[in-house]
Amino acid sequence: MSSGQHTELVELSTLHGWVGPTAIVAGVLLLIVALFRRTRATLAKKRRAARPSAADWW
């Protein structure tokens, strides 16, 4: 293996070394945001069901 091939191999391995962890972090952040939005929507729905007249003034 020449030094040029070795350099290419090292560059490729470092380039792909951050893709997996970044994808996992992005997935976890999206999951947190989705759960947060779902919780707020559920609470708003319960609030509207408890006081239907309160939604009329909007």
> Which pLDDT belongs to residue 15?
58
Q: Token digits for 41?
A: 């929507």
pLDDT tens digits in sequence order for the chain, 58 residues long:
566 666 666 655 555 678 888 999 999 999 999 999 999 999 988 888 887 665 555 5
Residue 37 in domain? yes
> Which pLDDT belongs to residue 19?
84
Comparing CA positions, the residue from 22, 1, 34 lying closest to residue 9 is 1
pTM value?
0.57
How many domains, the chain?
1
Decide: residue 51, CB within 10 A, 0-12 exposed, 13-18 middle, 19+ buried. exposed
Residue 58 in domain? no
> Which pLDDT belongs to residue 5?
60
DSSP category for residue 1: -
Q: Token digits for 15?
A: 């380039």
